[in-house]
Amino acid sequence: MLSKRSLVGVRLNFHTLAVLFCLLIGTQAFAADPAIVESDEAIAAGKSIFNANCKTCHKLDQKAIGPALRGVTDRQSAEWAKKFILNSSAVIASGDEYANKLFAEYNSTVMPQHPFLSDDDLTNLLTYIEFGDKVDPAAEAAAAAAGGEGAVAAGGGIPSEYLTIIVVVLVIVLLLILIVLGLIISVLTKYINKQDLDEEEREFVQQKFDLGKVLKSDGFVVIVTALVIALVAKTAIDGLYSVGVQQGYAPTQPIAYSHALHAGTLEIQCQYCHTGVEIGRSANIPSPNICMNCHTHVQNVQGKEGVSPEIQKIYDAVDNNKPIEWVRVHNLPDLAYFNHSQHVKVGGIECQTCHGPIQEMEVVRQHSALTMGWCIDCHRQTEINSQGNEYYDKLVQLHSDSKDALKVKDIGGLECAKCHY
């Protein structure tokens, strides 16, 4: 016959099992996937680029505004990924099947261009996307000792689509373990009940599983509370990161003006309508008089009779001497100073660098994040084109002895007072 001490040793109640199961599930849910990395510096540099340019729309392992990025170099080549990051519009326009599939799947949302990123920047970014935020040094050392380093490195880590399958399989295995342990307890309980036990031992063996006791237990309360706090904290942090970011904002305008027609098909230069872009801080919204330079003669699309209803709105504004109340799309906070002429005239920056493929937009939308991090990263990466630009002659002379290319950050582009009064 089993002694009371032995009986206590083998008696596992479901209270203990339930808490253990929750702990195991929580561990699996928050465990980082181990991977082999070649350079911690590349991971760190790539993370900085990701946070400044990609974090608003993308996550590594789940869909957001854009697709999950982990495993992109398994689905396509690294060179393809670099081209897409630099100019997704060009890849889509080339007829690339995969690019057009993504374009259709995500509601024809075009990813911002990143021409200021060098090839090294793109390599670092892809390194972070594939290997970042899931490094486990102990697992890396174990894999290397087992001779698996080459295989894992060559495979580029575990693709994100398999991670979900692995977690699901682990959950099923843990459930089966819980069921088996329950059966073992049941068999042991029946066996012990047949033994000659005193009253105290029999009462201990015959105690029933109490769900209420489990739900009220300190261990269960701690686990649930920790999960709720983690979820609330993540939601709050995600919300704080998005405050003031209006990327994708595309309001309905009083006149259905098509940039795709005017700037794209007709190839009208941006500066023709936005006359202040090279001479002042603001690009300025064109007045109806500028519209009338063409629409005095062009009253409808080719082949149609009469005056177009949208063009008629321009005529009405001119006849009634009332401005067209356009809705502002790109709106920086009052604490930030931005000068168009400094960037367009002096810096030689193309409009598409910040505004995206404006020549393809039927309805104008805010293409870039326009956050401080986005601007600062551009200043860190953009080289100054001093050729034929008298504005920079003296600066170039001062830096002539430097082997590194002169960038915006070298001429005060990271100073707070440059953008904040």
Q: What is the pLDDT of residues 33-44, one digit of tens each?
A: 333 245 778 888
Pairs from 265-269 (Cβ < 8 Å, separation ≥ 24): none
Is the pLDDT confidence value at 59 over 70? yes
Distance CA 219, CA 225 (A): 10
Q: Hey, what amino acid is at 72?
A: V
The whole-number pLDDT of residue 336 equals: 92
Distance CA 376, CA 414 (A): 7
The whole-number pLDDT of residue 300 equals: 85
Helix (H, G, I), strand (E, B) or coil at 407: strand
- Residue given tokens 């699901």 in the structure block: 168
Helix (H, G, I), strand (E, B) or coil at 96: coil
Residues whose CB falls within 8 Å of the CB of residue 80, separated by 6 or more in sequence, listed in order: 91, 96, 98
Is the pLDDT confidence value at 24 over 50? no
Residues whose CB falls within 8 Å of the CB of residue 73, separated by 6 or more in sequence, listed in order: 81, 126, 129, 130, 156
pTM of the model: 0.47
Percent of the chain scoring above 90 in pLDDT? 28
**Sign of the C-alpha dihedral, residues 135, 138, 141, 142?**
negative
CA angle 307, 308, 314 (to 5 degrees): 90
Q: What is the pLDDT of residues 111-155, one digit of tens each?
A: 777 778 888 888 888 888 888 877 454 544 554 454 433 333 333
Q: Hey, what amino acid is at 38?
A: E
Residues whose CB falls within 8 Å of the CB of residue 299, separated by 6 or more in sequence, listed in order: 306, 307, 308, 311
Q: Hey, what amino acid is at 147?
A: G
Q: What backbone phi and psi angles, to 5 degrees, belong to 88?
A: -65, -35
Structure tokens at 97: 């099947």
Helix (H, G, I), strand (E, B) or coil at 62: coil
pLDDT category at 15 given cuts 50, 70, 90 is very low
In this prediction, residues 14-43 reach a mean pLDDT of 47
